[in-house]
Amino acid sequence: MNIKKLLSADFIKTNKKTFVCFIAGLLGIFLIFASEMFPNTAKKNNDSEKNTYSSYSNETEEKLADIISKVEGAGKTEVFLTIEESEEYVYAQNVSSDKDEGSKVNEEKEYVIVDGNSGKNGLLVKTVNPKIRGVAIVCEGGDDPAVQQRIYSCVSASLGISTARISISKMTSTGGK
């Protein structure tokens, strides 16, 4: 069958069911192509998570490099962070508990759901930043033990990590951007 015959008035009158199936098929194909035009929300959330993770890392590296470069003797500084986990979201919960006869406590937890502009979502209480696993620092004064000690103290206090997770090296004369 050709398309001209399917769209002719005579064919439509005599084969209504076939014509309806043909139109439904065309509509289905159109919807498939139209869905490709609109971004997938799961992909959007994943990209958003990557951007948040990357922006947190970059922002922290820049701030840390700026602070370290102001330490006496450090000079020009570059910083690289290793991050252990991604952001964590903590949602509000209703907790109900009751005590059994055998002194066993039963707890039931239920997330608090709120209506928003984008539908129903959990009530976000806080966002926990990713955990920093280690820091690599390269600076012009990285070979001086006194400078290294000042940097260890500064970074350890700033990030709340042990000095064992911090590496400091001297920048080569050609190092840098």
Q: Are residues 141 and 112 in the same domain?
A: no
- The HSE-up count of residue 78 (CA atoms within 13 Å, CB side) is 9
CA triple 139-142-146, angle to 5 deg: 130
CA distance 172 to 149: 20
Q: Are residues 107 and 96 in the same domain?
A: yes
Within a domain: 30 = no
Q: Are residues 146 and 62 in the same domain?
A: yes
Cβ neighbours, 10 Å, residue 82: 11
Ranking 22-36, 45-59, 96-110 by mean pLDDT, the lowest is 45-59
Range of the domain at 143: 41-87+130-177
Q: What is the pLDDT of residues 60-70, one digit of tens each?
A: 999 999 999 99
Residue pair 146/139 in contact (Cβ under 8 Å)? The answer is no
How many domains, in total, are found in the chain?
2
CATH number of the domain residue 80 falls in: 3.30.300.30
Q: What is the pLDDT of residues 82-125, one digit of tens each?
A: 888 777 888 888 888 777 776 777 778 888 888 877 778 888 88
